[in-house]
């Protein structure tokens, strides 16, 4: 044994040696496979969407930046894609159905890109970003429109719902080197799309850049200012069409812009921004206070008053304390609760399904306290009769869209008559909004409802004018001009 050479040893134990060598190689291979697997898992986590079979935004930015460095002779664009009303669909049909729909959209987007040179990615929820190549702009836009139509049709075939696809597009300039900036621009383009409910393709261009700058400056200004007397209540009267008498009014906020010599700005100018920041709740109470002040002043002067409805944002109802603060303001000015009505939009009930218990309890408290609730814009958006069950309303405001739909007048009248009758059964008064013409008045008579609000009688006017009209009405009634 002691004299055994290395050669003898290898010959004698060749079987074992080969066995151990093979086992070693297998172990190394196995370890390598494990490492590679883990690596691809890690890469997948880093680059793939965690739920859907689609790339994530990180991957799009990473690959896009690489292409921008190496392929500058090509033209690129980023496209932000969003499904309008997806949130409502999700709430109405449930999470699983929503997820199925998104998976389907991922598949359509994946199939629509050239997997070697282009990328489809999901940001989150129903928000996607595409990194695409283009040569001719017209052809590129046709490609996007076709994709938009295809997705919309497929969604309809799958769900029987007309959900709209919106796109924001940014064509990368030759100097553009940062994909994050490019994605930001296509996002911005999408945010400037006209309506959240329409299918639209908005391209980021100079005009849009200018508009964004204006919006940014306006928001900066709005952020800084206090909620004070620059926010005033305008009034639009509600008229009984049988007597032509004003039986009430609605307070509508206006902003007197200090930067534009007190130019009167409508809610569209600032309400959406303050809804985002939450400051709208302060504005609503500020308007309620100015209404109460006006009513108090009139009472002190021995003049008549009419009930005024005040718009309250949905934000009030998802937190505590609304009824208490409302009552405190009434108490401060000694105004009876019948004289201030709370207007809330019906979309509130569908959109805020998650916080329903909180909303329900606030609304019930208001009802118990005898505060009058008014369902605003009934018939716009996702109307459902279920809203009557959820909002214990004293007033239902039929939206202007009912009066605009003249396609099948007879059918429309039957539907409206049904709603008026239902309101009657529920002891709720119906008010028709947006009454503009003699024909609208005729429709009101046919559906047997008589309280109108709209340009036919008056636009929203400043407090002094509204008061003068009330005074005049009183003088005529008492026979003393
Ligand atoms: P709304 O509460 O449904 O108010 C009715 C809107 O319709 C008003 O627009 C009014 O000027 C307009 N309008 C009235 N009659 C007619 C008509 O015959 N034809 C047409 N085409 N429009 C008519 P405005 O004042 O621009 O207010 C828009 C919306 O802003 C309001 O809709 C309400 O949702 C919101 N808003 C107004 N004031 C406040 C407020 O103090 N607080 C909150 N949270 N929202 C407010
Ligand atoms: Mg209103
Ligand atoms: Mg309304």
Q: What is the whole-number distance in angstroms between the Cα of residue 1 and the centre of ligand 3? A: 105
Judge if the beta carbon of residue 460 lies within 6 A of ligand 1. Answer: yes
Q: What is the whole-number distance in angstroms between the Cα of residue 340 and the centre of ligand 3? A: 16
**Alpha helix ranges (H) inside 132-178:** 137-159
| Residue 122 CA: distances (Å) to CA of 61, 65, 168 | 12, 17, 15
Atom index in ligand 1 nearest the CA of residue 234 equals 25
Nearest to 184 by CA among 139, 134, 123, 137: 123
Cβ atoms of residues 466 and 459 within 8 Å: no
Structure tokens given for 2: 């002691």
Domain locations along the chain:
56-204, 226-478
| Higher per-residue pLDDT: 1 or 211 | 211
Over range 154-179, report the average pLDDT.
90
Nearest to 465 by CA among 247, 301, 299, 235: 235
d(CA 444, CA 442): 5
Q: pLDDT tens across 45-68, in order?
A: 788 898 899 999 999 999 999 999
Structure tokens given for 136: 């001719």
pLDDT of residue 477: 73
pLDDT of residue 350: 54
Over range 155-174, report the average pLDDT.
90
Cβ atoms of residues 197 and 85 within 8 Å: yes
For atom 17 of ligand 1, the residue with the nearest CA is 434
For atom 29 of ligand 1, the residue with the nearest CA is 267
pLDDT of residue 203: 95
pLDDT of residue 347: 66
Beta strands at 245-257 and 308-311: parallel, antiparallel or unpaired: parallel
pLDDT of residue 372: 96
Q: Is residue 268 over pLDDT 80?
A: yes
Structure tokens given for 452: 């109108």
pLDDT of residue 195: 61
DSSP letters for 56-74: EHHHHHHHHHHHHHH-TTS
Q: What is the whole-number distance in angstroms between the Cα of residue 404 and the centre of ligand 3? A: 14
Structure tokens given for 170: 């940014």
Query: Whose structure tokens read 């130019």?
Result: 263
Q: What is the whole-number distance in angstroms between the Cα of residue 240 and the centre of ligand 3? A: 17
Minimum mean pLDDT range among 89-98, 102-111, 206-215: 89-98
Query: Mutation test of ligand 1: which of 267, 436, 455, 456 has the most ligand atoms closer than 8 Å to its C-beta?
Result: 267
Q: Which of the four pLDDT bands, split at 50, 70 and 90, describes residue 38?
A: confident
Beta strands at 75-83 and 127-134: parallel, antiparallel or unpaired: antiparallel
Q: Which of the four pLDDT bands, split at 50, 70 and 90, describes residue 33?
A: confident
User: Considering the domain 226-478, what is its CATH architecture?
Assistant: Alpha-Beta Barrel (3.20)
Judge if the beta carbon of residue 267 lies within 6 A of ligand 1. Answer: yes
Query: Mutation test of ligand 1: which of 232, 252, 403, 440 has the most ligand atoms closer than 8 Å to its C-beta?
Result: 252
**Assign residue 13 a region: left if phi > 0, alpha if psi is -120 to 50, beta otherwise?**
alpha
For atom 15 of ligand 1, the residue with the nearest CA is 454
Q: Is residue 425 over pLDDT 90?
A: yes
pLDDT of residue 365: 94
- Quick one: what percent of the chain has pLDDT higher than 70? 94
Judge if the beta carbon of residue 219 lies within 6 A of ligand 1. Answer: no
Q: pLDDT tens across 299-323, in order?
A: 999 999 999 999 999 889 888 899 9
Q: pLDDT tens across 350-388, in order?
A: 555 556 778 888 999 999 999 999 999 998 765 567 788
Over range 231-252, report the average pLDDT.
97
**Alpha helix ranges (H) inside 225-318:** 267-277, 280-300
Find the largest Cα–Cα distance for the chain.
Answer: 140
Q: What is the whole-number distance in angstroms between the Cα of residue 84 and the centre of ligand 1? A: 23
| Start-to-end CA span in the chain (Å) | 137
Q: Which of the four pLDDT bands, split at 50, 70 and 90, describes residue 114?
A: very high
Cβ atoms of residues 391 and 352 within 8 Å: no
Q: Mean pLDDT in the chain?
A: 90
Q: Which of the four pLDDT bands, split at 50, 70 and 90, describes residue 120?
A: very high
Q: Is residue 215 over pLDDT 80?
A: yes
DSSP state of 81: E
Q: Which fold has domain 56-204?
A: Alpha-Beta Plaits (3.30.70)
d(CA 391, CA 356): 11
Atom index in ligand 1 nearest the CA of residue 376 equals 3
Helix (H, G, I), strand (E, B) or coil at 334: coil
Phi, then psi, of 223 in degrees rounded to 5:
-65, -35
Minimum mean pLDDT range among 162-171, 345-354, 366-375: 345-354
Q: pLDDT tens across 137-161, in order?
A: 999 999 999 999 999 999 999 888 8
CA dihedral for 57, 111, 52, 350, sign (positive or negative) = positive
Q: What is the whole-number distance in angstroms between the Cα of residue 301 and the centre of ligand 2? A: 28
Q: What pTM does this model have?
A: 0.75
**Assign residue 195 a region: left if phi > 0, alpha if psi is -120 to 50, beta otherwise?**
beta
Q: pLDDT tens across 449-472, in order?
A: 999 999 999 999 999 999 999 999
Structure tokens given for 380: 């716009």
Q: What is the whole-number distance in angstroms between the Cα of residue 459 and the centre of ligand 3? A: 13
Beta strands at 429-433 and 395-398: parallel, antiparallel or unpaired: parallel
Beta strands at 231-240 and 461-462: parallel, antiparallel or unpaired: antiparallel
pLDDT of residue 160: 85
């Amino acid at each position: 044994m002691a004299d055994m050479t290395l050669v003898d040893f290898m010959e004698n134990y060749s079987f074992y040696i080969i066995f151990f060598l093979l086992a070693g190689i297998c172990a190394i291979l196995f370890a390598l496979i494990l490492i590679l697997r883990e690596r691809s898992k890690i890469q997948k986590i880093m680059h793939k969407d965690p739920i859907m079979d689609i790339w994530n935004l990180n991957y799009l930015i990473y690959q896009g930046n690489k292409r921008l460095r190496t392929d500058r002779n090509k033209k690129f664009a980023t496209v932000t894609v969003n499904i309008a009303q997806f949130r409502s669909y999700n709430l109405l049909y449930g999470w699983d159905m929503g997820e199925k729909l998104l998976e389907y959209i991922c598949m359509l987007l994946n199939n629509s890109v050239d997997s070697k040179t282009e990328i489809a990615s999901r940001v989150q929820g129903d928000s996607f970003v595409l990194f695409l190549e283009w040569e001719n702009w017209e052809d590129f836009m046709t490609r996007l429109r076709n994709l938009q139509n295809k997705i919309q049709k497929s969604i309809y075939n799958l769900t029987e719902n007309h959900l709209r696809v919106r796109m924001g597009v940014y064509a990368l300039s030759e100097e553009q080197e940062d994909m994050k900036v490019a994605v930001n621009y296509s996002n911005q383009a999408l945010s400037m799309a006209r309506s959240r409910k329409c299918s639209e393709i908005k391209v980021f261009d100079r005009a849009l850049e200018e508009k964004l700058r204006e919006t940014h400056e306006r928001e900066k200004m709005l952020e800084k200012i206090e909620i004070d007397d620059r926010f005033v209540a305008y009034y639009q009267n509600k008229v009984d069409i049988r007597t032509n008498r004003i039986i009430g009014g609605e307070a509508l906020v206006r902003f007197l812009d200090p930067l534009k010599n007190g130019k009167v700005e409508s809610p569209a100018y600032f309400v959406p921004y303050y809804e985002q920041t939450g400051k709208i709740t302060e504005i609503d109470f500020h308007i309620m206070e100015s209404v109460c002040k006006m009513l108090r002043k009139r009472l002190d002067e021995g003049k008549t008053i009419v009930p005024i409805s005040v718009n309250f944002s949905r934000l009030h109802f998802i937190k505590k304390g609304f009824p208490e603060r409302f009552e405190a303001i009434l108490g401060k000015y000694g105004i009876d609760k019948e004289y201030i009505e709370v207007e809330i939009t019906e979309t509130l009930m569908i959109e805020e399904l998650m916080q329903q218990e909180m909303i329900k309890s606030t609304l019930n408290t208001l009802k118990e306290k005898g505060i009058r609730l008014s369902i605003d814009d009934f018939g716009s958006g996702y109307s459902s009769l279920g809203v009557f069950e959820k909002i214990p309303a004293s007033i239902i405001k039929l939206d202007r869209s009912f009066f605009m739909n003249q396609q099948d007048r007879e059918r429309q009248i039957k539907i409206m008559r049904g709603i008026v009758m239902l309101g009657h059964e529920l002891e709720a008064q119906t008010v028709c909004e947006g009454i503009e013409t003699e024909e609208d008045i005729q429709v009101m008579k046919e559906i047997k409802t008589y309280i109108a609000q709209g340009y036919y009688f008056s636009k929203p006017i400043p407090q002094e004018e509204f008061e003068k009209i009330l005074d005049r009405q009183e003088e005529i009634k008492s026979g003393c001009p």
